[in-house]
Structure 1
Amino acid sequence: MTETAATGSTQSLWRDGDFLRYWGSRAVTMVGSSVTAVALPVLIYELTGSPALTSGLMATSTMSMAFFGLIGGVLGDRFDRRRIMVTADLVSALAIASIVVAHLASVLTVVHVYAAAFASASAAVLFDGSSAGALPSLVGRSRLPDANARIWGTQSVLDVAMPAAAGLALAIWSPATLLVVDVLSFLGSMLLVRAIRGAMSGVREVRGRATVRDLWGDLVEGLTWLRRHPTLWPLAMVSVFGAGSAAALLGLIVPWADRVLGVGTSGWRFGLLFGSWAAGAFFASFVMPRLSRRFGAIRMAQVLFPMMTVLLAVLSRLDRYGPALAVYLAYSFLHVLVISATVTYRMQIVPDRLLSRVSTASRTISWGGGATIGVLVSGQVASRWGVPAALLVVAVANGCAALLAWVPALRHAAPTARYAESA
C-alpha cells in the first residue's frame, strides 16, 4: 500500500486518476452485466418456460462463489491483483461470447447457457477477490465509504437505465444478441485495469510462487480470522439469510413479472421492474456514508432487516404492477443500504494482508452458501406451489436474518468500525 493510501489522502476521488480508472472499469462492466442480468434469464425462460430453471440460473453465480470464493481471496492476497483482474475479464468475455456464437450458429442449448454463465461468474469471483483488496490500497481506508458510495451509486444509475433499455431492446432483438454488450464491457474493463498506475497490492502481499500447502495455509488463516472475529462472524451468519432471500427474489423476477404481474418478458414495464432494484440502490448510495458514520453498520442491520421482512411479506400478496413495483423498490433500497454499510465496515477493520481472503470468505459463506440454497429452494417452491408462495418463503428467510442481527455479540458491539492496522 502506498503512503498516500495508507494515511488516507484528502484529494477528491474525482481527481484521483487511479480511482477514476478503477471506477471506470467497474462502470463499463456494470453496463454489460446489467444487460446480461435481463437477457440471460429471459433466454432460459424462452428456451424452457420453467420457473425452476430460470431461477436456477442465479445458482450459476452463487455456486461459482461457493467453489472459487475462498481461493479467489487467497490468490488476491498472494499474487498480483492487477494480473488476476485482467485475466478474469478476458475469461468472462470469452465465455459470454460463446453464447452469441452458438446462437448465430443455431446450436445454442440450455446446458451451454448454464456452462457459459458459470464460467463467467467464476471468473468474476476471482476478479472480485482481488478487487476487494485493491480498492483500499488505491484510496485508503478513510476514503472507503465515499469510494464505495460512488461505485455503488454509478452501478445503481446504470442498473436503472440499462435494464429498461434491455427490456425495450428485447422487443426487437433476441436475448442472445444483446449479450454482445457484455462481451465489449469486459474487454473495456480489462484495458482500464491494465492502465491503473498505483500499487494494487502491498509489498508483502505479492509473494511469488507458492505450493499447495502455502495456499491452503493462507485459506485457513483467512477463515480462522473471520471465525474468531467477535462481530464479522455473526454478521456473516446474518448475511447467509439476507443474501439467500435477496438472491431468491432476483431469481424469481422473470416468472413473477410474467405469471403474477402480467407484464410479460419484454417492454418498458418489464425493464423498469428490473431497473427498480438499481433505483433503490442508487438512493441508498447517497445516504449510506452518512448513516454508516452516524449509526454504524450493525445498528443499521438490526433496524432494517425487520423492515425488509415486512416488505417481502407484503410483496407476496400483491399482483398489481404499480404497488408491487413500489414495494420492490423500497426493499431494494433497504437491502443495498445495509449490505453496502456492512461491506464497508468489513473493509475498514480487516488487516491489509488478510483483506482479500476475509472478504471473499464472508461472501462465500453468504452468497455461495445462503444465496445458492435460496435460489434453488425458491425455484422449486415456485414451480410446485406458485410464485407467491415462493415469495413468502423469501420473507421467512429474511426474518431469520432479522433475528440473527440481535444475537448478544452484535447487540453489545460498538456501533462503528475502528480502522485496522495497515500492516
Structure 2
Amino acid sequence: MTGKRTDRARLPGSFHRIWAASAVSSLGDGVYYSALPLLALTLTHDSTVFGMMEAVTLLPWLLFGLIGGALVDRWDRRRTMVVADLCRCALLVAVTTAVADGLLNIAVLIVIGFLLGIGGVLFDTASMAYLPELLDRDQQALQRANSRLQGAERAMDGFVGPPTGSLLFSLSRTLPFVADAVSFLFSSLVIRTLPVPPKKAAAKSKAPILREARIGISYLLHHRLLLGLSLRPAVGNFAFCGTGAVLALYAHDTLHLGAAGYGAFLTTEAIGGLGGTFVAGWLGARLGTGGALTLTAIVEAVALLGVGVSANAYVAGAGLAVLGAAMAATMTLGPSVRQAIVPDELMGRVGAAARLTAMSAGPVGALFGGWLAHVAGLRAPFLAGAGVLVLMAGLAARLTSNRRIDAALAEAARVREGTGAGSGLAGVATEASV
C-alpha cells in the first residue's frame, strides 16, 4: 500500500512546466512590486495615493473574486490561464511605452494595477482548479505540488525579485516592467503546452453568473471541513494583519531596529516560510493532515506571542521565522485537501470563495491592530493575535481533524467512482453530519 501511494504521488513531467512557469512569473511579480513604488515616487509623494495603490492590489479579489470563480468553472481553465497571462503582458507593455514616452501618470498606474489584479484573480483561480485535474486529485501529489509551488513563489517573489527589480529600476525606469512582461509571456507559452483537460459531458450552464457564484459560497458554508479550512487562514490573516499594521513601529520603537535591521527582520519570515513549504508534507505524513494543521495553529500562536513579548531583536526574528514556517506549512496543507475533495464543476467557485473569506479578514485585522496599539501599546496586537490563534487551534482540532478529512476524502473518491452520490452537491449533506 505504501509503495503504491508513493508512486501515485510522483509528479508528472507536465507539472514541472507549471512549476517553471510559476517560478518565472513569481520572479516577475517580485520585480514589479519592488519597482512600482519607485516609479510612483517619480510621480508623487502623496501618502494617500500610495494607500490607494496598495488597496488596488486587494480590490480585484473583493469585487471580482466570486464572479471570476464562476467564470473559471465555465471556461477552459488552461486557456483561461494563457489568456490572462497574455493580457497582463500587454498591460505591462503599455506601462513600458507610457513610461518611455513620458505619458504615465498616477491615475493610469492605478487603473493598470487594478486590471493586472483582475488578470491575477482569473489566473490564480484557474490554476487552483486546473492542478487537481492534472494530478487526478491525489492528496499526496497535491501536497508535493503545492509545496513546490509555494517554495518557488517565496524564493522568487520574496528573495530574488525585489532586489532585482530595484537594480533594474536603477538602470532604467522601463526595465523592470519589460522583465515582468517577458515573465508573463514566458508563462503563457509554457502553460499553452500543458495537456488539454478532457471535455465535460454536461452542457454549459446558462444560469446567471451571480447565481452560479452563490452556489460556490453555499457549498463552502454547508461543508464543515471546507468551512474550517477557510476559517483557518481568515482568522490567521486577522491576527497577522493586526500585527503587520504596527510591525514597522514595533521594530523601530521596541526592538530599536534601523532601516537595514528592519529589512533583515522581515527576511527572517521569508526564510522560515521557505522552510515551511518543505516540511509540510513530512508533518502531514507523520501526524495526518488534520494533526499537522492543529500543530501549525499552536506553533503560530506561540511564535506570535514570542515576537510580541521579546525585547531582543534576534529572539523576535527567530519567532518571526518560526511563524513564517508554520504559515507556509498551513498554506500548503489546507489547499491540498480542498483540491482533493471539491467536485470539478465547483472547483473555481469554491476556491474563489475560500480565498475571498481568507482575504476579507485582513483589512479588519489591520484596523483592529492599529486601534489596539493606539489604546494599549505596541505589544497588545501581538498578545491579542496570539490569543485569537489559540482559539483557532481549538477550532482547527475540531473542524479539520484527521477523522473529518479522511471521511471527506473517502466520500469524494466514492462520488468520483460513481458508487456514491451522483452529484457533487450531494456531498454537502453527507459531510455536514460528519
Q: Residue in 2 aligned with 1:219? A: 213
- Write the mapping of 1:73-222 to structure 2, written as runs, cut at 5 A: 73-142=69-138, 143-163=141-161, 165-166=163-164, 169=167, 172-173=170-171, 177-196=175-194, 198-200=195-197, 203-204=200-201, 207-208=203-204, 210-211=205-206, 213-222=207-216
Q: Which amino acid aligns with 1:284?
A: G
In 1, are the aligned partners of 2:239 and 2:388 still within 8 Å (CA)?
Answer: no
SS of 1:39's partner is helix
Deviation at 1:294, TM superposition (A): 2.8
Change (3 A) 1:120 1:320: farther
Q: TM-score, normalised by structure 2?
A: 0.77
Change (3 A) 1:54 1:254: farther
Listed one character per residue, the Cα deviations across residues 221-262 of structure 1 (whole Å, up to 9, x for unaligned) are 222111111221133223222134445666777888889632
What is the CA–CA distance in structure 2 between the aligned matches of 1:316 and 1:97, rounded to whole Å?
44
In 1, are the aligned partners of 2:34 and 2:163 still within 8 Å (CA)?
Answer: no
Q: Which amino acid aligns with 1:358?
A: V
- What RMSD over aligned residues (CA atoms) do the two structures have, in Å? 3.7
- Write the mapping of 1:50-69 to structure 2, written as runs, cut at 5 A: 50=47, 54=50, 57-69=53-65
Listed one character per residue, the Cα deviations across residues 151-183 of structure 1 (whole Å, up to 9, x for unaligned) are 222223323531463376278347775233222
- By relative contact order (CA 8 Å, sep 6+), the higher-ranking structure is 1
In 2, are the aligned partners of 1:76 and 1:130 still within 8 Å (CA)?
Answer: yes
Q: Which amino acid aligns with 1:87?
A: V
Q: Which amino acid aligns with 2:322?
A: A
- Write the mapping of 1:323-334 to structure 2, written as runs, cut at 5 A: 323-334=315-326
What is the CA–CA distance in structure 2 between the aligned matches of 1:399 and 1:176, rounded to whole Å?
46
Q: Which amino acid aligns with 1:338?
A: T
In 2, are the aligned partners of 1:244 and 1:371 still within 8 Å (CA)?
Answer: yes
Which shifted more, 310-319 or 335-344? 310-319
Deviation at 1:127, TM superposition (A): 0.9
Deviation at 1:98, TM superposition (A): 4.0
Structure 1 residue runs of 5 or longer lacking an equivalent are 1-6
Q: Which amino acid aligns with 1:165?
A: P
Is 1:239 aligned with 2:227? no
Change (3 A) 1:217 1:171: closer
Is 1:404 aligned with 2:379? no
In 2, are the aligned partners of 1:65 and 1:364 still within 8 Å (CA)?
Answer: yes
Q: Residue in 1 aligned with 2:347? A: 355
Structure 2 residue runs of 5 or longer lacking an equivalent are 418-434
Change (3 A) 1:286 1:200: same
Change (3 A) 1:83 1:355: same
In 1, are the aligned partners of 2:297 and 2:389 still within 8 Å (CA)?
Answer: yes
What is the CA–CA distance in structure 1 between the aligned matches of 2:349 and 2:99, rounded to whole Å?
38
Deviation at 1:319, TM superposition (A): 8.3
Change (3 A) 1:42 1:325: farther
Q: TM-score, normalised by structure 1?
A: 0.79
Change (3 A) 1:36 1:385: farther
Deviation at 1:283, TM superposition (A): 0.9
Change (3 A) 1:110 1:171: closer
Deviation at 1:215, TM superposition (A): 2.8
Q: Residue in 2 aligned with 1:3? A: none
What is the CA–CA distance in structure 2 between the aligned matches of 1:370 and 1:164, rounded to whole Å?
27
Listed one character per residue, the Cα deviations across residues 108-131 of structure 1 (whole Å, up to 9, x for unaligned) are 444433332222122111111111
Change (3 A) 1:68 1:392: farther
What is the CA–CA distance in structure 1 between the aligned matches of 2:173 and 2:269, rounded to whole Å?
20
What is the CA–CA distance in structure 2 between the aligned matches of 1:318 and 1:44, rounded to whole Å?
36
Listed one character per residue, the Cα deviations across residues 258-315 of structure 1 (whole Å, up to 9, x for unaligned) are 8963226xxxx77655654432222112111121233244433333334323433444
Deviation at 1:320, TM superposition (A): 7.2
What is the CA–CA distance in structure 1 between the aligned matches of 2:20 and 2:312, rounded to whole Å?
38
Is 1:229 aligned with 2:201? no
